[in-house]
Amino acid sequence: MAKLVAGIGSSHVPSIGRAYDQHKQTDPAWQPLFDGYEPVKRWLAEEVKADVVILVYNDHGTEFFLDRYPTFAMGVADSYQVADEGYGRRPLPDFRGNVEFSHHLANQLVADEFDLTLCQEMALDHGFLTAMPLLWNHTEDEWPVQVVPLLVNVIQHPMPTAMRCYKLGQALKRAIESWPDDLRVAIVGTGGLSHQLNGERFGYINEEWDQQWLDKIQSEPLSLANQTHKQVMEAAGAEGGEVIMWLVMRGAMADEVEEKHRFYYAPMTTGIAVLALENKE
């Protein structure tokens, strides 16, 4: 039986990828952020040792645009390319998929009444790419894990509710546990935290709300899942609403979880965080 061995919440910010590619890991402005991810990277490499990662993200007009943006989409391919978001492809290796496991998840989720767009090809943008090199080391040609990209529409209304995302995670848990073979699975929910990139509140960050989110997603996830889009966006900023993707990760985990590492950093226009969780035995 497959086992969920780690749940990670992580921001996805395009400038982080740019700094990573330009080797700014020791730059004074960037070092605290990169150092904040290192304990999670060690934990994943030395203890978790996942075989496959389900990474929940949203595309930013690279693979899908406003003329056709699915509510939920899942990759079922054997490989995924690194997207060119307009300034050249990032120097990262392409990703290995797991076709059989992806199709199993898709079949189980559809049977559980979650309708998915299934993608035989997907180019992955910073929504997916930001977290991967911060959490897993890679060679020039290969990642140590296979991936299942799971896209959520947090771009264009109508969007799935926070509760719908939480229930998607619960359905994923059932699907993972029904896989008959041994497989160590990690799930990463990306997005946020608080930020707004338009209008009168441009540059808005709510650090108090961010810290409450990091607390409550562990101990009171249903209190977050019951919030409306309006409530989340008023508190966390318009683009901060994408943080509901963390609830897919949390819904896939046990009712009680243990915090393995937590880091928060807010020197820019986004509240940036990584949270590593493990199911309590």
pLDDT score at 27: 93
Q: What CATH number is given for 2-279 in this structure?
A: 3.40.830.10
User: In this predicted model, what pLDDT tens digit does every residue of 104-121 receive, in sequence order?
Assistant: 999 999 999 999 999 999
Q: Is residue 13's pLDDT more than 90?
A: no
Determine the length of the chain: 281
Token output for 275: 């949270």
CB-CB contact of 190 with 13 (8 Å): no
Sheet with 272-279, side-by-side order of all strands: 117-119, 72-75, 146-152, 52-57, 183-190, 2-10, 272-279, 257-265
Q: Is residue 179's pLDDT more than 90?
A: yes
User: In this predicted model, what pLDDT tens digit does every residue of 51-73 receive, in sequence order?
Assistant: 999 999 999 888 898 889 999 99
* Residue 126 appears among annotated catalytic residues: yes
68: left (phi over 0), alpha (psi -120 to 50) or beta: beta
Where are the chain's structural domains?
2-279
Helix (H) or strand (E) holding 2: strand 2-10
CB-CB contact of 45 with 137 (8 Å): yes
Q: Side-chain half-sphere of 191: how many Cα atoms within 13 Å?
A: 29
Catalytic, out of 104, 157, 195, 229: 195
DSSP one-letter string for 128-169: HHTHHHHHS---SS--SSEEEEEEE--SSSS---HHHHHHHH
CB-CB contact of 179 with 255 (8 Å): no
User: In this predicted model, what pLDDT tens digit does every residue of 70-106 receive, in sequence order?
Assistant: 999 999 999 999 998 888 898 999 999 999 999 999 9
Q: Where are the beta strands (DSSP E) in 159-235?
A: 183-190
> Which backbone phi and psi does 256 adopt, to 5 degrees?
-110, 130
CB-CB contact of 190 with 11 (8 Å): yes
* Cα-only R_g, the chain: 17
Q: What is the mean pLDDT of residues 149-170?
A: 96
pLDDT score at 177: 97
Q: Is residue 201's pLDDT more than 90?
A: no
Q: How confident is the model at residue 204 (pLDDT cuts 50, 70, 90)?
A: confident
- The strand pairing partners of 57, in sequence order, are 151
Cα separation, 276 vs 18, in Å, equals 23
Cα separation, 167 vs 278, in Å, equals 19
Catalytic, out of 12, 126, 138, 157: 126
